[in-house]
Chain A
């Protein structure tokens, strides 16, 4: 299946700093990528849909100024958590669709963010 790579897998930062997470589709072009957040023992929560070359579409309740998404190329989307606080600590997962093939959604490995 298609490969989606996410980096870093783990990050610890101090409160008030910003953290950038990268998501790359390695063997296909992804015009759309999705960012999810998952708290322990809870289900995936879609945060935003990242569209190549245009603004991201955020789900209701997700602060677009806090979670900055950039999708500058067909293989790379980034999520920046700005002015992070301990309540932002979570598991962030990106995903991408291979629309030219099966249309299936493939996930990155996830990034576990801990804000001290």
Chain B
């Protein structure tokens, strides 16, 4: 079983719609959760971090964490073509100082 699992996609949404990206993780002691965006040929950039259950909003982005279900998601409201990228979910295991990345979900936002 992989540490972090994501649907590889591609996920296609029309411009202006809400894109919903999902991630599950296997280790219950995971403490910190992150979403990164990676454009083709570029390195990942941090979008959101979330540490406690519930929702965290930042502009058009909302991260949701449910530790009981070992599930973390990212919602992108009013999706734009510039949001088209691969989104990586990362999980930090407590005291291991090691990030585990999912394989990423490719998002296509169609104009």
The distance in angstroms between the C-alpha atoms of A54 and B42, with both chains bound, is 30
Distance of A98 from chain B, by nearest CB (Å):
11
Asked if B60 is at the interface of the complex by the 8 Å CB criterion, the answer is no
Mask, A72-116, CB within 8 Å of B = 1, is 000000000000000000010101010000111111111010000
Q: Are the C-beta atoms of B46 and A44 separated by less than 8 Å?
A: no
Residue with the greatest number of chain B CB neighbours at <10 A, chosen from A34, A44, A112: A44
* A103 contacts across to B, CB distance below 8 A: 32, 92
* A60 contacts across to B, CB distance below 8 A: none
Q: Are the C-beta atoms of A32 and B103 separated by less than 8 Å?
A: no
Q: Are the C-beta atoms of A1 and B43 separated by less than 8 Å?
A: no
SS of B interface (majority): strand
* A34 contacts across to B, CB distance below 8 A: 98-99
Q: Answer whether A49 and B43 are a contact pair too, CB < 8 Å, given A44-B88, A102-B49.
A: no
Asked if B97 is at the interface of the complex by the 8 Å CB criterion, the answer is yes
* A112 contacts across to B, CB distance below 8 A: 41
Q: Are the C-beta atoms of B99 and A109 separated by less than 8 Å?
A: no
* B43 contacts across to A, CB distance below 8 A: 6, 93, 107-110
* B98 contacts across to A, CB distance below 8 A: 34, 46, 49
Q: Answer whether A105 and B90 are a contact pair too, CB < 8 Å, given A43-B103, A93-B43.
A: yes
* B101 contacts across to A, CB distance below 8 A: 43-44, 46
Who on chain A is nearest to B101 by CB?
A: A44
Distance of B85 from chain A, by nearest CB (Å):
13
Rank and list the top 3 A-B pairs by shortest CB-CB distance, nearest first.
Answer: A43-B103, A110-B43, A107-B43
Chain B positions within 8 Å of A, measured between CB atoms, are 32, 34, 36, 41-46, 49, 88, 90, 92, 97-99, 101-104
